[in-house]
Homo-oligomer: A and B are copies of this chain.
Amino acid sequence: MINHDYNSLFKPKNIAIMGASNNIQTFGTMHLLNLISGGYEGDIIPIHPKQEKIAGLKVYKSIKEVPTQVDLCLMVLPTKIVVEKIQECGEAGVGSIIIVSAGFKEIGNYEEEEKIRNIAKKFNINVVGVNCIGEIIPASKINMTPIPIYPEPGHVALISQSGTYACHTLISNQDLKFSKIISLGNETCLDIVDFLDYCRSDEETKVIGLYIEGIRRGKEFFEAASKTTPKKPVLALIIGSTEAGSRSALAHTGAIAGQSNIISSILKQTGIIQVETGLELLNSLMCLSNQPIPKGNRFGVITVGGGPGTVFADLLEKNNVKVPKLSEELQEKLRNTLPETAGVSNPIDITFDRDWGNLFKKVPKLLLKSPEIDGIVLYGIFGMGFFSKIIEGSPIDLSFMKYNEEMADMFKSVVSKELKGLINLGKKYNKPIIGSSVFRRNDDFIIKFCQDNGLPVFVLEDSIKPVINMVKYAEWKKKLAKN
């Protein structure tokens, strides 16, 4: 029933779209326009019975009239004509079809889905959907969703039973780079097991995120998961674990209610890491895609504020990540480097130090090269640009203080040198570094700088859950190694 040659789905040489028009306010048109704006380089072929041109592109009246072989067809059509159009695609030799159209199992219409399955099987077509939102394949410059986000190619695969979580929510984390984003919808043909199998051997994919409302093939999922987690981390957000959640999931994609406890136990047995929120999932995927897996669970906390250092230590230790007291030897080395006021036992608190070299270089280096520590959380990723507010806001002429100039120099040096040095230290010692700040990507350009250079930075305590999940994966790998 499955084509298993996914090239027509992920690297199509051309894409037909049924359901786009020149009316911008329809989903099909938004899919088309995103495909254009995302820079897809293959042929885009709108299919429409009446229009001559759509978005300036030549239109064919039916898929059968298209003179070349079509790799991929996107359908955003009225429910009642979907089956007919799939039949036409089959006869025209289309390799893959993504069906956005809804109105099937999720509202009790099982019959039409069965018809789709039969046609897909007969013609050996990869069918994604129905009732999905589309796919985003950055390496192929494909965004076939209604949401205008164009992430860069990277190593995170996201396989989602929620369309919103497959595209819309990604706006909240603009620095995550993807290999594949697939919205599954009702899983009429291809399902979460198929794509987990695919991503396991996909060389572009280093880490996999799942949004799960229900598992249709339990045994196969168990097997696919068991084979995948030894190779790469898999994280999952399970939804529908309460009465209200189940009610919502059933209406959403026709998922069977009350499965979530079973799913949770499958995850535990197969080493998939369960997360609680979409934000936790996205942040954790980022760290697992661009940081080394820690060798153990002992983390150093470096902080320019006592409060956050204490909170971080608490949150980590409550979740099986140790913030161990450093050896007297290592403390002595830190003491020799830092001012008297610094805390050196771990957390390393250098609040009253204003030497960037200590924060970004000397202290991280001492911790990273020590066998006592498996990774670092660093609170204090700030550009100093915002301090110019002090001068800009002043009603008194403060230019004699040469504040801006001094600070600009310091800032530049931090960005270009110290932070790159920090990132290189992580690579050299092959240990993860997770940054923490009070700024977000659009607040201060240093955050964008770090993220674009492979150092994940989150706001305050948002840095902690990704560390916990990295350690969970490290512990799973250790457990596998023992068996």
Please measure, in the bound complex, the distance between the C-alpha atom of A252 and the C-alpha atom of B103, giving whole angstroms: 60
Query: Judging by beta carbons under 8 Å apart, are A248 and B389 in contact?
Result: no
A247-B325, A343-B252 in contact; A277/B396 too (CB < 8 A)? no
Q: How far is the CA of A102 from the CA of B306 in the complex (A)?
A: 13
* Contacts A251-B349, A401-B22 given; does A308 touch B164 at CB 8 Å: yes
Q: Which of A440-476 contact B (CB under 8 A)?
A: 440, 442-443, 459-462
**A 313-345 to B, binary, CB cutoff 8 A, 1 in contact else 0:** 111111000111100000000000000010101
Taking the complex as formed, is A188 at the interface, i.e. its CB lies under 8 A from any CB of chain B? no
Check A307–B349 contact: CB distance below 8 A. no
A111: CB under 8 A from chain B?
no
**A439 within 8 Å of B (CB atoms):** yes
Binary flags per residue of A214-256, CB closer than 8 Å to B gives 1, else 0: 0000000000000000000000010111111101110111000
Report the bound CA distance from A214 to B317 in whole Å.
19
A213 on the B face (CB < 8 A): yes
A349/B248 contact (C-beta < 8 A), A165-B308, A306-B162, A307-B162 known: yes
Q: Which of A307, A315, A351 has the most CB of B within 10 A?
A: A307
Q: Which residue of B lies closest to A344 (CB)?
A: B251
A245→B317 contact, CB < 8 A: yes
The answer to whether residues A239 and B38 also contact, given A55-B396, A341-B102 and a CB cut-off of 8 A, is no
Assess A401 versus B24: contact at CB under 8 Å? Given A237-B311, A317-B244.
yes
8 A Cβ contacts from A73-123 to B: 102-103, 107
Indicate if A395 sits at the interface (CB-CB under 8 A). yes
Q: Determine if B171 and A386 form an interchain contact, defined as CB atoms under 8 angstroms apart.
A: yes
Q: Which residues on the B side are within 8 Å of A163 (C-beta)? A: 305-307
Give 17 pairs: A residue, B residue, CB < 8 Å, sorted on A.
A24-B403, A37-B389, A55-B394, A164-B304, A164-B307, A165-B308, A171-B386, A172-B438, A172-B459, A211-B307, A239-B311, A244-B301, A244-B317, A244-B346, A247-B325, A252-B307, A252-B349
A162-B307, A251-B306 given; name 10 further pairs at CB < 8 Å.
A25-B354, A56-B396, A165-B307, A169-B305, A237-B311, A245-B314, A247-B346, A248-B310, A251-B349, A252-B310
